[in-house]
């Protein structure tokens, strides 16, 4: 093993591998390892320019005496090795003579360390397990590697972030997570540890991570290198700030994003959509956004309105703008092989390639290929079509659906992108999808940009991504899962997040049980980063025509407007619409904080109260910004709710006005029209009372 200092970088050479350790922003380090002669140049999520930082680097000879072999008869086992230490502000990495890494904070406290069971590696006579922390195993016949990285497990550690998974666990300790995207699953591999550090697995390869009780283990099925970022901080807020500085921060939310979004599956015609917008205004209801969902187009991959159903989109957008309503249109990455763009995109290499089998990736409604959003040329091509057919009509906000991308079969090993084999880079797909539209809008002079995207990866936030949680079920169980999904996305560095109010699948409009769920979900939506109604609302309408001009037609779900679920519920919905409007100045400041520091808009209690140990275990309530503690009702038939109040201040029930001391769990009223909201002591907001 040989150590080398190259300016601010520490390099460890060992049996054909190079391990690079270097400062990467304040109190942060980047660690990379390759078995090739040159380090792979991809920065993946770490694309932000970092300031020049000079760390403290110490290299020294040490006497290595293994106490296992004490005594003269074992003197020949005594070795002399080298160890190293690199410090950048509050984080120090120490490299042992065996080559494994330990990370410490400025107090000398251990944050985490590699899991190394290759004892006294310098001596070939003492390797009882031969299990190393970093393994780049060559894939025979290729220049690629299967990667495993192992870290020690700590009984006291809690882990928060990692993106969006459909389970109930906010604390990911004990979880096995697939590092891959699926409809309703977004792998965003950054987490914040209760031990005082944040960790980014800076690798978009398909793999897994296991936060086991015996060890933490990351894998990548195929890759070129090991690459991760680690940062130390005294609070979760400091950690999030340092990570977002390295991976990029979200811009400021456009004003229309703060209000109410009306959406359904789907408004089938221009007349249908305009009737809903006009009715909102006739009733005097707030409305900021209305969405033109999928299959408004001629064919998939033509990115333009079907003129039979949408005869005057210019006039439609103009009238909506006069109402103060932003128009959003759905874009899919699927390209019908009969579409006017398929041949050109295929010839230019703008479609995902298949190493074997048919060149189609989605067969729903047509034989479709998916455009390659990792290809800069493909990004520009798709944006240009959308610029011509949507932007010139006044549309500034796009719904980038199917952004995982969703495939008929998630057989990642058969696909190939511009960036490489899908096994190595699939998870970066939604970043490129959003980047193409972000760059295109910026080139047109737009400064307030937002794209609603059904997936994200690390770094997506800097391209103005509002992620939503996909096609989720209409049930209280699913609602509970979305709460942790939203909090986990925030802790993973994605502050703009939303979900389909009421769930997407299986909600029946006239079912009393569904109506109760919808009311509870709508109330929670008012205290989400983005307040958006959506869902298919069964049963679907019957098709008027199966095919028209050779194109298969799609019908839509039932009505999904606030007046569609009974008069009593309408009054409740209306109250939350106006409540959201009254909170608009507060929400605007939350969005400003997200853009300036990377702070999540909805955040676990411990984010604001890290010194209160009880807050680290609360998974059914959250902070909406710094001052509002929100406790959604996530079960049927209840009229009260238990709420833990963080210590260190008083709390006022926004509904009853009752004041409580912090540091206790209380029972508060929660009738159907009420979501429990507690206001931090010293603050006052117009929630239930204007």
Residues annotated catalytic, as ranges: 401, 404, 471
* 262-294: burial string, b at 16+ Cβ within 10 Å, e else: bbbbbbbebeebbebbeebeeeebbbbbbbbbb
Give CA–CA dist 644/111, Å, rounded: 28
Burial of 124 by CB count in 10 Å (0-12 exposed, 13-18 middle, 19+ buried)?
exposed
The Cα–Cα gap between 427 and 388 comes to: 29
Tell me the torsion sign for CA atoms 466, 472, 475, 479: negative
For the CA atoms of 183, 189, 195, 196, what is the dihedral angle to 10 degrees? Answer: -120
Q: Name the phi and psi angles at 382, rounded to 5.
A: -65, -40
State how far the alpha carbon of 67 is from the alpha carbons of 63, 64, 77, in Å: 12, 9, 10
- The CA distance from 572 to 52, in Å, is 55
Q: How many CB atoms lie within 10 A of CB 685?
A: 19
CA pair distance 44, 420, nearest whole angstrom: 13
C-alpha to C-alpha distance for 114 and 111, rounded to whole angstroms: 11
Give CA–CA dist 607/3, Å, rounded: 39
Chain center to CA of 49 = 22
**Checking phi first, is residue 364 left (phi over 0); if not, alpha (psi -120 to 50) or beta?**
beta
Structure tokens at 358: 């048919």
Chain centroid offset of residue 428 CA: 12
* Distance separating alpha carbons of residues 553 and 69, to the nearest angstrom: 77
């Amino acid at each position: 093993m040989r150590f080398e200092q190259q300016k601010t970088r520490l390099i460890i050479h060992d049996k054909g591998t190079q391990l690079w350790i270097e400062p990467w922003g304040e109190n942060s380090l980047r660690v990379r390892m390759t078995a090739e002669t040159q380090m792979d140049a991809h920065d993946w999520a770490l694309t932000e320019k970092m300031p020049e930082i000079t760390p403290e680097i110490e290299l020294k000879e040490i006497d290595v005496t293994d106490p296992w072999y004490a005594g003269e008869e074992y003197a020949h086992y005594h070795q002399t090795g080298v160890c190293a230490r690199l410090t950048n502000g509050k984080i120090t990495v120490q490299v042992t003579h065996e080559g494994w890494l330990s990370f410490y904070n400025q107090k000398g406290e251990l944050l985490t360390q590699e899991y190394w069971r290759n004892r006294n590696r310098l001596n070939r006579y003492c390797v009882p397990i031969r299990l190393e922390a970093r393994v780049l195993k060559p894939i025979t016949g290729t220049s690629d590697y299967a990667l495993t990285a192992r870290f020690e497990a700590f009984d006291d550690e809690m882990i928060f972030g990692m993106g969006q998974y459909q389970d109930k666990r906010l604390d990911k300790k004990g979880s096995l997570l697939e590092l891959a995207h699926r409809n309703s699953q977004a792998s965003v591999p950054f987490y914040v540890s209760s031990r005082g550090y944040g960790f980014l697995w800076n690798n978009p390869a398909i793999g897994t991570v296991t936060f086991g009780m015996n060890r933490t283990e990351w894998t990548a099925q195929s890759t070129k290198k090991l690459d991760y970022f680690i940062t130390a901080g005294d609070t979760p807020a400091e950690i999030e700030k340092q990570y977002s500085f390295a991976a990029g921060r979200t811009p400021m939310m456009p004003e229309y994003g703060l209000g109410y979004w009306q959406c359904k599956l789907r408004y089938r015609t221009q007349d249908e959509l305009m009737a809903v917008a006009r009715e909102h205004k006739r009733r005097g209801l707030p409305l900021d956004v209305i969405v033109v969902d999928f299959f408004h187009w001629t064919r998939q991959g033509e990115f333009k309105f079907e003129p039979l159903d949408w005869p005057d989109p210019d006039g439609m957008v103009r009238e909506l703008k006069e109402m103060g309503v932003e128009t959003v249109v759905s874009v899919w990455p699927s390209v019908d092989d009969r579409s006017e763009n398929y041949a050109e995109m295929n010839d230019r290499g703008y479609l995902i390639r298949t190493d074997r089998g048919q060149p189609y990736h989605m067969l729903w409604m047509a034989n479709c290929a998916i455009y390659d959003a990792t290809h800069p040329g493909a990004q520009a091509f798709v944006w240009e079509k959308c610029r011509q057919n949507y932007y010139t009509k006044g549309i500034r906000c796009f719904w980038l659906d199917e952004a995982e991308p969703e495939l008929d079969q998630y057989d990642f090993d058969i696909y190939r992108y511009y960036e490489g084999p899908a096994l190595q880079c699939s998870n970066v797909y939604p970043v490129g999808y959003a980047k193409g539209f972000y760059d295109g809008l910026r080139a047109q002079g737009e400064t307030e940009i937002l794209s609603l995207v059904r997936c994200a990866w690390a770094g997506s936030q800097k391209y103005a991504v509002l992620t939503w949680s996909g096609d989720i079920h209409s049930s209280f169980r699913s609602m509970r899962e979305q709460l942790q999904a939203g909090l986990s996305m925030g802790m993973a560095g994605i502050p703009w997040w939303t979900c389909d109010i009421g769930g997407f699948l299986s909600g029946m409009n006239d079912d009393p049980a569904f109506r109760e769920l919808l009311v509870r979900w709508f109330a929670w939506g008012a205290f989400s980063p983005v307040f958006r109604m959506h869902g298919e609302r069964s049963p679907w309408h019957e098709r008027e025509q199966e095919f028209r001009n050779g194109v298969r037609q799609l019908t839509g779900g039932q009505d999904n407007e606030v007046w569609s679920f009974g008069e009593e519920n309408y009054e409740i919905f209306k109250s939350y619409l106006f409540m959201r409007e009254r909170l608009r100045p507060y929400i605007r400041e939350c969005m400003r904080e997200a853009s300036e520091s990377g702070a999540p808009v909805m955040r676990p209690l411990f984010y604001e109260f890290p010194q209160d140990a009880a807050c680290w275990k609360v998974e059914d309530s959250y902070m909406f910004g710094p001052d509002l503690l929100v406790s959604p009702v996530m079960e049927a038939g209840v009229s009260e709710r238990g709420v833990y109040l963080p210590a260190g201040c008083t709390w006022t029930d926004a509904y009853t006005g009752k004041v409580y001391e912090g540091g206790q769990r209380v029972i508060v009223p929660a009738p159907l029209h009420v979501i429990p909201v507690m206001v931090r002591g010293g603050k006052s907001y117009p929630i239930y009372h204007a």
